[in-house]
Amino acid sequence: MFVVVFFFFFCQVADQLTPAQTSLNWFRMAAMFRPLKILLPATKHPPVRCCSGFISRMRYLNRLKEDDEACAAALQDGVFFLFHRLSPLLQRTERGTFRPAEVHCTDLQSILERLGSDGSSVKESVLIGCSEQNQAQFCLDVGELDQAAVEEECQGKFVDLRKSFFLLRRAEAPLVAKGQALLRWHQTSGFCSATGQPTQRNQSGSQRVCSSSGIVYYPKMAPVVIVLVSDGKRCLLGRQSSFPPGLYSALAGFCDMGETLEETLNRELAEEVGLEVHSVSYSSSQHWPFPHSSFMVGCHASVSPAHTQLKVDHSELEDARWFSLEEITAALKVKTPPRRGDAPSLWIPPKHALANRLIVEWVEQQRQSEKVE
């Protein structure tokens, strides 16, 4: 049975809570998911006695968020990930792969000064994490500078975030996604929605405060359900007209006010493809920076093989189709999007996307079922 969780209510309230209250509520909410079936074993974690490093990092990060002086001091020894109008700076490695460019504080200040910018703009950086060595990590958008000049100074290239997901390793993509999301939030949250007066950020960028009313705002995400539907032998994928040629993905939709995740899932499938599901299971979740920071909750759903006829709402989707295991297996082998001029072939979202994880889980479940048979 799918657990009923009022995500939308929580997300609306979260921006008025203190960080400690928000963390506690997320913990309680996560606990509600424990009875749910996980289709694949979770990633193995080290024993509890080995987690002191993780605990240390989390407490250090929390201190930097709450203590402006401590965060300002961490800036001096921190590393920075640069963005230009929300596109991350990537560098090519010796192996020909890409990674986010890391710039140390003193180097960054020198670069900014050489390009005619005030080195003090480093203070506009936003805290996004820390390394295993407890070195603080920040992001900074240098969109006011000439893009080519920054790329030359840093020996890298600014790449659209969607394209970056095809170039970065699994562990690196969430870091730049978080950085872009926080930078965008600050760019669009300069004024209080209640008074219209300017808001001021703290040093870490973890919150903004109305200069008139004192209302505190925290970054928030919009809850979205993404679901892979199966009839036992095939899975259902759809595409929007804005997708690149050949790209299909799992179906997704935003939670409406007052809806549970289960209600959202059932409504979206009824609206978009005219299906009713008879079972739902939770898989995993993910922050997704598009269109404006979404909290993606991934699920699997099943329909009866006797009720698989689709009635696609073309105002929502350009197309939706059932795909066989063979077709999906071939799509998973496509590592890069087809080039312009190539014949369109089926491909799916990159491995960093939750849709990809749902599809891989389904494929592995199908293969296990074949072994049993």
- Split at pLDDT 50, 70, 90, the class of 16 is very low
Amino acid sitting at position 235: C
| Residue 52 in this model has a pLDDT that exceeds 80 | no
Give yes or no for a contact between 290 and 162, defined as CB atoms under 8 angstroms apart: yes
| Residue 27 in this model has a pLDDT that exceeds 60 | no
Convert the pLDDT of each residue in 200-250 to its tens digit: 999 999 999 999 999 999 999 999 999 999 999 999 999 999 999 999 999
- Split at pLDDT 50, 70, 90, the class of 276 is very high
- In this prediction, residues 348-359 reach a mean pLDDT of 94
- Split at pLDDT 50, 70, 90, the class of 7 is very low
Average pLDDT, the chain: 87
The listed CATH number (3.40.630.30, 3.90.1170.50, 3.40.50.2300, 3.90.79.10) that belongs to domain 222-372: 3.90.79.10
- In this prediction, residues 305-325 reach a mean pLDDT of 96
Convert the pLDDT of each residue in 161-211 to its tens digit: 999 988 898 789 999 999 999 999 999 999 999 999 999 999 999 999 999
Q: Pick the more confident residue, 370 or 56.
A: 56
The pLDDT assigned to 51 comes to 52
Q: Where exactly does CATH 3.90.79.10 map onto the chain?
A: 222-372
Cα dihedral sign, 297-63-56-25: negative
| Residue 17 in this model has a pLDDT that exceeds 90 | no
- In this prediction, residues 115-121 reach a mean pLDDT of 86
- Split at pLDDT 50, 70, 90, the class of 262 is very high
The fold adopted by the segment(s) 52-187 is Nucleoside Triphosphate Pyrophosphohydrolase (3.90.79)
199 C-beta neighbours (distance < 10 Å), count: 21
- Interacting residues of 298 by C-beta distance below 8 A, sequence separation 6+: 226, 227, 228, 250, 282, 283, 284, 285, 286, 354, 355, 357, 358
- Split at pLDDT 50, 70, 90, the class of 339 is confident
The pLDDT assigned to 23 comes to 42
| Residue 32 in this model has a pLDDT that exceeds 60 | no
The pLDDT assigned to 42 comes to 47
Q: Pick the more confident residue, 352 or 202.
A: 202
pTM, full prediction:
0.81
- In this prediction, residues 305-317 reach a mean pLDDT of 96
